[in-house]
Amino acid sequence: MANADPPVPRTPLLLVTGMSGAGRSTALKALEDNGFEVIDNLPLSLLKRLLAVHDKALAGSDSDRPLAVGIDARTHAFDAESVVSHIKSMREHGIDARVLFIDCAGGELVRRFSETRRRHPLALDRPAGDGIAREREVMAPLRRWADIVIDTTDFSVHDLRRTIREKFARHLRGELTLTVMSFGFARGLPRDADMVFDVRFLANPHWQPELRPLTGKDAAVGRHVAADPAYSDAFERISSLVLSLVPSYRREGKAYLTIAIGCTGGRHRSVFVAERLAEAIRAAGYTLNIVHRDMSGHSEGVDAQGFAAPDQEERLPG
């Protein structure tokens, strides 16, 4: 009789990939600091063997450290379509495998490679832009299929580390990582938003001189917004919709859900509504992060969470 197949490993696994220069190495270091066991540039042919060894090492111990494996276009025999197929196969066999893709706009990547004087790994004898274009084409299947994408175009090193900490505090423990974010449409839509609600129809405290210097966290602003006849019904509908959808996202295995609330500047109405929505979600028994992207009202490039412009804080290395 043939030997039975060995037990399939159940290790929580995070594959970390993305564009060269976007901050993948920084993300891996941040994951390690937050309790992940990290291995970089592992040939995919060794992945299943690694999982089996990792599970055996954890057997009988109190540790449940998840595993983060870094792969990119430089990995031996790399093929994005094959990676996607490999991940699907692991999931079908009960392995909790997810993909984190670190992305960045092409112009910013060119700047980073220029400043650090590094050559792009796919364009050793060509301009960095050529390598970036080629890599984006090669990585497209993984970018489309990733469970979560972090765009570091406007990030400093500190921003990326904090984002990793926020998103992976409960990662791979069977919990949905919920984030409620307020933002200003004047500074653009959040790149990682799953649901976006526009509250620009509510009375704007900006036009009240005594309220303009305040934020949506101040009681006077809250009273002004809540006094709008449209507020109560709209908030009830938004909160009911969100709370009805969250369980469905969990059943489908989604690990991250970002709910974005936007007004014009991101300082008053969106902050107030986001705070109230966070209260409703917590009251329903969920744990969440809350981020006020544009609440500070400073010049573009700085927000209440400490995001900084290039001349104010260390940027991600190339």
d(CA 268, CA 291): 14
Is 198 annotated to bind ligand? Answer: no
What DSSP assignment string belongs to 211-238? TTTS-TTSHHHHHHHHTSTTHHHHHHHH
Fill in the DSSP letter of residue 268. Answer: S
d(CA 47, CA 113): 30
E-strand ranges in the chain read: 13-18, 37-40, 67-70, 97-103, 148-151, 177-184, 195-198, 256-263, 288-292
Question: Residue 90 phi/psi, 5° resolution?
Answer: -60, -40
Query: How do beta strands 288-292 and 13-18 pair?
Result: unpaired
Residues 6+ apart with CB under 8 A from 117: none
| β-pair partners for 68 | 14, 38
Is 139 annotated to bind ligand? Answer: no
Is 22 annotated to bind ligand? Answer: yes
Is 173 annotated to bind ligand? Answer: no
d(CA 259, CA 289): 10
Is 215 annotated to bind ligand? Answer: no
Tell me which amino acid residue 280 is. A
Question: Residue 271 phi/psi, 5° resolution?
Answer: -65, -45
Q: SS3 helix, strand, coil % of the chain, rounded to 5?
A: 40, 15, 45
Is 72 annotated to bind ligand? Answer: yes
Is 306 annotated to bind ligand? Answer: no
Residues 6+ apart with CB under 8 A from 217: 271, 272, 275, 295
Is 75 annotated to bind ligand? Answer: yes
Residues 6+ apart with CB under 8 A from 129: 106, 110, 123
Closest CA to 191 of 117, 272, 102, 274: 102
Binding-site residues for ATP = 18-25
Binding-site residues = 18-25, 72-75
Binding-site residues for GTP = 72-75
